[in-house]
Amino acid sequence: MNPISKVVRSSRPIYKKLSTTATLAAPKPIPTTGLCFELNDEQKALQDLARKFTKEEIIPVAAQYDKTGEYPWPIVKKAWELGLMNGHIPEHCGGMGLGVMESGGMGNFGVFDECLSAEEFAFGCSGITTAIGGTSLGGCVSISPILEALTKLTGGLELGVFDGCMVAEELAYGCTGIMTAMEASGLGQTPVIIAGNKEQQKKYLGRLIDEPLVAAYGVTEPGAGSDVAGIKTRAEKKGDEWILNGQKMWITNGGVANWYFVLARTNPDPKCPASKAFTGFIVEREWAGVTPGRKEQNMGQRASDTRGITFEDVRIPKENVLIGEGAGFKIAMGAFDKTRPPVAAGATGLAQRALYEATRYSLERKTFGVPIAQHQAVAFLLADMAIGVETARLAWQRSAWMVDHGQKNTVMASVAKCHASEIANKAASDAVQVFGGNGFNTEYPVEKLMRDAKIYQIYEGTSQIQRLIISREILTAAKQTNA
């Protein structure tokens, strides 16, 4: 029995309930009208576990990891032992298959729970959080064409988003760098979860359950960030193998991952549409020709491992192709609809931490004989931060809920990612303002939050790209309505 199974079947109340559907608490009645924002008992237990883990394991060491830039392996291993990682991996691979929300609160463990944990982790250190773990505009009911096609090809999806986001928010509250280290592994896993066959899933997802290992997502290149179609990395078929050559850049977990999802051009014709020009591969880090570069020294989220990777005549067996030749672009883009909600949840966790630190400081710091919280200028800053946190949380919750219900969430995923990213940056900046001169000093926690927040507007699609996606969907829907 692998470690996750042991944890799931242990006496710990939360995981004991997860071991079999027969042990789950009976769902509570859900109102026939309106919305229910109450978490069920299992989700509350998972949230409490992630929050306790963040408080005891992440927050005390977040500043040290930020200074050293070391990868938080001890934290990752403890999170793995508790089952806070890989919960969305299908059950047939040894995971818990956390997923679809049902009646009675927010439902069973899915993306929502992981996002809550991510927020808590980021509260301690957003860099650590990243190390661990992307129509119609109203009531979208159509299934994403990409995910619908992948579902038909792979026999269904078991990946849940809501519960995962719940966990992500909690972890990000502690440290978004550590949370990113963990959450980036989930990004690398997602293409295999949504597009891998049973053998690929068992081999590559199963090993992440059996050992505290992580994966990585290899798409971005030195000359291709937002312009994914501009990727230059190429793979040429020779017999039963593919020969991979090229470079990737800004790959989180690049130097520590056991394996990567790699997107490469397989059709050399520049006129070939992106939807058919690229293929997705599973590439192991220890294979000959795979060379991770130096660890990048970033402004924030320093606990996460970010590197470039060079591929030189890497031999990939045909068994490591996802779905088939030409399906890579759809797989890569389909993954973002599932991974952007957790990113938004992580940003929400950071914003919540900024609000907490600013509120606590405003009650302690006195000017003109009273705590600065009594000055309207400061009180209004706190109010604006609270408004931002609440709306960011609602955005990721809806986008995650839509994924778990098989609805197209492309617009809402972009709304959540863009809005939460900007809320995190504003909240962190306002927290520094509340702290005044002290906020500019490394002895206080808010300057780190400000450094950690910026990347949320850049990775997993910049804020500008999110606006482009949203605007295109709006215009397309309007044209169809007027047609």
The single-letter code of the amino acid at 210 is: D
Can you tell me which residue has the tokens 């798409």?
219
Burial of 405 (0-12, 13-18, 19+ CB in 10 A): middle
Size of the chain in residues: 483
Whether the CB-CB separation of 134 and 308 falls below 8 Å is answered with: no
CA distance 174 to 121: 4
Active site residues: 460
Strand 370-371 with 366-367, pairing:
antiparallel
Distance (Å) of CA 381 to CA 26, 354, 388, 450: 42, 11, 11, 16
The answer for residues whose C-beta is within 8 angstroms of residue 284's C-beta and 6 or more apart is: 258, 259, 260, 290
Query: How far is the CA of 222 from the CAs of 86, 132, 176, 246, in angstroms?
Result: 30, 25, 24, 10
- The DSSP line for 43-68 is HHHHHHHHHHHIIIIIHHHHHHHHHH
Pairwise CA distance, residues 282 & 271, whole Å: 26
